[in-house]
Amino acid sequence: MLDLNDIVFEPADLKISALDNFDPLYRIGDYVGHTPPQVAAAYSMPASDGAGVKIGIIAPAGGGFLQSDLDKTFADLIYSGLISSSTPTPVITQVLLNGQSGDFVDTAASVENTLDIYCLATLVPAANIVIYIGSNFVSTTQQAIDDGCDIISVSYTVAGGEPSSVTMAAFEYYLLWPARDAKIAICAAAGDSGSTFEGLSELKVAYPASSPNVIAVGGTKLTLNNNNTRLSESDDNRDPSYGPNWGGGGGISGYFSAPDWQSGLYYTPIVNGTTGTSTTLTQRGLPDISAAMSNYLMYYNGSIVGIGGTSASAPVIAGMLARFQSLTGKQRSSPEYNKLFYNHKNSFFDILVGTNNNIITSGYKGTVSWDPVTGLGPPTGAQVYRYIKNGLRPTNGDVFPNNEFDKRPSSGMVWPRTKTL
């Protein structure tokens, strides 16, 4: 009998390095790094504190976090002017499952927990942020769904990529379909190993990121101007800061067909180092969209560290969705968001170049529009927000009504010009 609790999930290959000799966060101009509020500014995300939105962080590998780390981070960000001085540091709610204590121990799981909390708390400090700490993906995700979370952030992937079709079908049926039907948006990290996973020699994509019932979030390398505007952005594969096997995950699912919002797309494969020709996408492609994945500066266990991974990209996008929902009062599922995204491709920064065959010789090439390296690209938050407010409008045909009925023209012809005799 299949036991989903036995499936091993792991953090999406996040990388961490000590920066004890660098200046505090408010002097980040002296170091090539950034914080979630700076990324939000670079992507012109609409201002919102996330009030009224409940966000669940999935922590299926246990671990803990230190509220004191978040307190120090907020103090530095307030000092630097990146967060308003009137903003209190949020208190994060822990839900402990499977006998977990939630006590802080210096492990990869605690690093992941701290990163997820840091990204969300600094973007939407008034949101109800809950971290579900357990020993498996099923219990933590199920509890987040049962608790009525509006948005769920997942920075974990199944070890080694997509598991068996039977396993994925069970995950979809018991977890991801119910989340979709409850209009819960799930942001899932697409991994940090390019077109495969470390230790493998074949094309592989991350799961649950490959599910059509989540928003698959890839990674980029973002460079900022001194005023926190976006200077440049590229794919982050082979970033020397993190090693040759580093890079945002992306590719083509071996199980799921392309959802309707990915119809008509193409990709360019790289086979054994040779770039192929444009190919019609028939299977689910990922990522959907991307965000900065490297050089986030935060406090961890009392010290400032630099950290990276789509483990940061996913909660950053979750924070953006929380802002949208708080501003509009409208809750949407992952497929509903994806349909909006793919129908407004021009509201994303299209990253045209780059490849993700950084571990094996086969992979994919960056192209115009969507590609399996960075997806549609990072969001232009203000543009995305404009259509998020109104939902999906027709792409052709008449749009009615398109006027105001409480005003008369001040000049020109008034129709109909009839005269009653």
Tens digit of pLDDT for each residue in 223-271? 888 888 898 888 888 777 777 778 899 999 999 999 999 999 999 999 9
DSSP SS3 for 307: strand
d(CA 274, CA 269): 8
**Whole-structure pTM value:** 0.88
d(CA 289, CA 98): 33
The whole-number average pLDDT for the span 206-233 is 92
356 pLDDT exceeds 50?
yes
What is the band of 413 on the pLDDT scale with cuts at 50, 70, 90? Answer: low
The whole-number average pLDDT for the span 307-336 is 96
d(CA 407, CA 405): 6
What type of residue sits at position 216? A
**410: in domain:** no
| Of the candidates 346, 350, 351, the residue with the CA atom closest to the CA atom of residue 384 | 346
More confident residue, 127 or 199: 127
Which residue segment(s) compose the domain that 50 sits in? 4-388
**45: in domain:** yes
Residue 406: what pLDDT? 41
What type of residue sits at position 301? N
**202: in domain:** yes
d(CA 327, CA 201): 45
Counting every residue written for the chain, the total comes to 421
**395: in domain:** no
Number of compact structural domains in the chain? 1
**110: in domain:** yes
Bridge-partner residues for 11, per DSSP? 156
Contact status, residue 96 vs residue 146, Cβ threshold 8 Å: no
What type of residue sits at position 281? L
Contact status, residue 225 vs residue 190, Cβ threshold 8 Å: no
φ, ψ (nearest 5 deg) of residue 16: -140, 145
**42: in domain:** yes
204 pLDDT exceeds 90?
yes
**253: in domain:** yes
- Biggest distance spanned by C-alpha atoms of the chain: 90
Q: How far is CA 11 from CA 137, 157, 200, in A?
A: 12, 6, 17
Cα angle 167-173-178, degrees, rounded to a multiple of 5: 140
Q: Is the CA virtual torsion 384, 387, 392, 393 positive or negative?
A: negative
Neighbour-count burial for 197-208, b at 16+ CB within 10 Å, e otherwise = beeeeebbbbbb
| CATH number for the domain that contains residue 163 | 3.40.50.200
**398: in domain:** no
φ, ψ (nearest 5 deg) of residue 156: -120, 155
Q: How far is CA 27 from CA 32, 35, 119, 380, in A?
A: 10, 12, 19, 26
Contact status, residue 79 vs residue 127, Cβ threshold 8 Å: no
